Structure 1
Amino acid sequence: MYQGGRELREENSEPFDFKAPSIDYLLLTHAHLDHCGRIPLLAKRGFKGEIIATAASLELARLVMLDSAGLQEEEARYQTRKAQRRRGGRKGDIEPLYTTLDALNCFELMGRHASYDQALQLAPGIKATFIDAGHILGSASILLSLEEHGRHQSLLFSGDLGYSGRAILRDPTPPPEVDAVVMETTYGDRLHKQLQPSIDELYEVINETLARGGNVIIPTFALERAQEIIYYLREGVENGQIKYYTNVFLDSPMAISATEIFERHPECFDNETLKLSADGSDCFAMPGLHFTRETAESMAINQINGGAVIMAGSGMCTGGRVRHHLKHNLWGKQNSVVFVGYAANGTLARRIIDGAKKVRIYGEEINVNASVHTIGGFSAHADQAELLAWHKQTGNPKTTFLVHGEDSSMQAFAKQLNNTQVEIPVLYQEYELGVD
């Protein structure tokens, strides 16, 4: 699913350059919207094959796709009303990209649950092995072992890679040596701020904002980031680094459901998180934490003039409840907005980060007077150093295909690779492996 400006969104509805019914298997690396968001469209266009992912990814993907379908339907209704006003009330419905029924239909295609490091036979000559990518719950890199006419090739898809030392999840599993690699380059041109200074900065922003009587708004991705921030807020309260009692609102039905899914999949947790559970502690619970599912509860938060930490989706502010909270808090000098994740070009989050003095939210111009903070150390993506270290462990692959990054990021990362032939493919470009 493309996310960002209008042109990118329009690309979501473009025809595929392949016949959907011809696909036998869909191997899902993880459940973020940009990776699974068009699976219902694929099924709507005739895909009847098997969807394979880890158990945690399949459960999260159901949640993400249902949420996306609801947003598609809501956007279609809004655009229909808008078009009818322009046409003087004449009818003419605008269709959503896909519906809730389309999302439910594709659930029937979810097949085998992949276990880390255990090969699955897909077809004669094709085995797939899912390797822990440490990115979000259930995320994986996927190794394909291929044999055709006596030729053998190993092809590794990085998926989105996490990095070492984060809370909750295990570190990424080192990859094997392979013949070819397809790898992400989201942060291929930069290094992240270190994690502990980022945690300290979060506590500092919260303390300063609460001291001046303001609210802290944290646009939050529902998967991983929300759970990770709650984890660190709990630690900050327990060790006294958050100095003021505060009400923390997780104002995202999707993030609340995702947190419940997290608690059902301890097989993905690192030893520290498992030890907390064994000791009877809940790493996702703290005094003053409120889960707000209902719309009325969310609206009531906007009556709070200070002393609250409000976490709401979406992380890029492209939709969801966070836009309401920004509308009610961006103009206040006493408030703070903290971005703890990636913001694509063309999104409201990126405009605020880039220093916009005014932004339009729900048709209203809002002055940006709140303090704006970007804390990069919480990213769930590996940075350039981690990506290079991961790639080095793949040996000397004949070819490395760079994908999933802005052009500047891919070009910068390509310059760092000297042990492989680098390709930066365009959409639907085809390659033949193992041919000199």
Structure 2
Amino acid sequence: KNKNSCFDEEAMSYVNKGINPIIFSGLNIAVTSDESRAINFIDTPKIIISASGMCEAGRIKHHLKHNLWKPENTILFVGYQAMNTLGRSLVDGAKTAKLFGEEVVVRAEILVLPGVSGHADVDGLDKWIKSYEMPPKKVFVNHGEDSVTEAYKDHLRNDFGLNAFAPYSGAELDLISGEFKNTTPIKIVKKTGASPNYQRLLSALDRLTALVNKSSGLTNKDLAKLTDTINNICAKWND
């Protein structure tokens, strides 16, 4: 990989030929939320590339709601899934997932493609540590699951002779005394989203959007009738 570029040699060969390596034939970019939701109502086979990687927010939740329960589908994870996230629960074999207030049965195939995460592995972190001309006085390992950070902390102590720590979230170090405060682990409280009824309303919006997107072939009479129905609903609830 060229250290001055985000692409490797193969990708740079395309760039030098004037070819964008991340744009290809058949790729359709959904810019708006409505365009993204409409994908779920297209019956032809497709690959949906969506964020967020841990399935905690954004358009991915709509895609999961419409596709998790279908056994012919595959959900492929290509990034790290942190504890207490929806993505992690799916990777760990959850049988159901709660999406927009509804329990969705997991029938799709769940697969993981390792090695694609942008985080450095042990060898990469070791190389970074070794690059210091003078060893750091203290090293704090603060990103990762508890078991992993503890293991890497021990590795730094035992194999590098470094004064390494793996503090819990919320811990404080007194720079004068060198002592830690607030070392008790903080219990993770999962944030609650909007009410189930509001999530049902959003799901109804998805269906309405899909209906409108499919209505271009209707007769003028049916189009007028559908339009009047939608306008009447809007007028009723705007009062």
| Bin of the TM-score, shorter chain as denominator length | 0.5 to 0.7
Aligned pair 1:341/2:79, yes or no?
A: yes
Taking the aligned partners of 2:33 and 2:137, their CA distance within structure 1 comes to: 53
The separation in 1 between residues aligned to 2:145 and 2:33, in whole angstroms, is: 36
Q: Is residue 161 of structure 2 the alignment partner of residue 419 of structure 1?
A: yes
Indicate which of 105, 114, 128 corresponds to 1:367: 105
Q: Match of 2:110, SS?
A: strand
Residues 312 and 322, structure 1, Cα contact 8 Å, conserved in 2:
yes
What TM-score comes out, normalization by structure 1 length? 0.37
Distance 2:67 2:44 in 1: 10
**Is 1:401 paired with 2:143?**
no
Contact 2:139 2:165 in 1 (8 A): yes
Residue 260 of structure 1 corresponds to none
AA in 2 matched with 1:415: D
> What residue in structure 2 maps to residue 358 of structure 1?
96
In the TM superposition, 1:37-436 aligns within 5 A as: 170=2, 268-270=5-7, 272=9, 273-395=11-133, 396-417=135-156, 418-426=160-168, 427-431=171-175
Q: Which runs of 5+ in 2 are unaligned?
A: 178-239
- 1:281 aligned partner, one-letter code: I
Deviations 1:302-342 (A, max 9, x none): 11234100011211111111111111111111100001111
d(CA) in 2 for partners of 1:312 and 1:430?
A: 42
Are the counterparts in 1 of residues 81 and 88 from structure 2 also a CA contact under 8 Å? yes
Q: Which whole-Å CA distance do the structure 1 matches of 2:35 and 2:94 have between them?
A: 30
Alignment CA distance shift 1:403-1:293 (3 Å): same
* Equivalence map 1:14-33=2 (5 Å): none
Which SS does the other structure have where 1:420 is aligned? coil
Over aligned residue pairs, what C-alpha RMSD do you find?
Answer: 2.3
> CA 1:388–1:289 in structure 2 vs 1: closer, same or farther (change >3 Å)?
same
Q: Distance in 2 between matches of 1:424 and 1:298?
A: 41
Which residue type is aligned with residue 350 of structure 1? R
- Decide whether the 8 Å contact of 2:68 with 2:108 is kept in 1: yes
How far is the alpha carbon of 1:270 from its aligned partner?
4.2
* Larger Rg, first or second structure (1 or 2): 2
User: Which amino acid in the other structure matches residue 422 of structure 1?
Assistant: A
Aligned-partner Cα distance in 1 for 2:57–2:75: 16
Structure with the larger RCO, 1 or 2 (CA within 8 Å, 6+ apart): 1
The CA deviation string for residues 225-271 of structure 1, in whole angstroms up to 9 with x for no partner, is xxxxxxxxxxxxxxxxxxxxxxxxxxxxxxxxxxxxxxxxxx64346
Amino acid across the alignment from 1:378: V
Mapped contact 1:316–1:347 kept (Cα < 8 A)? yes
Q: Residue 83 of structure 2 contacts residue 145 of structure 2 at CA under 8 Å; is this kept in 1?
A: no
Give me the whole-angstrom Cα distance separating, in 2, the residues matched to 1:355 and 1:306. Answer: 28
Contact kept? 2:54, 2:86, Cα under 8 Å: yes
CA distance in 2, matches of 1:397, 1:360: 45
Measure the CA separation in 2 of the matches of 1:290 and 1:397. 48
- Higher share in helix: 2
Q: Distance in 1 between matches of 2:43 and 2:73?
A: 9
State the identity %: 36
**8 A Cα contact 1:397 1:419, kept in partner:** no
- For structure 1, the residue ranges without an aligned partner over 5 or more in a row are 1-164, 172-266
**Maintained 8 Å contact 2:97/2:103:** yes
1:289 match: secondary structure: coil
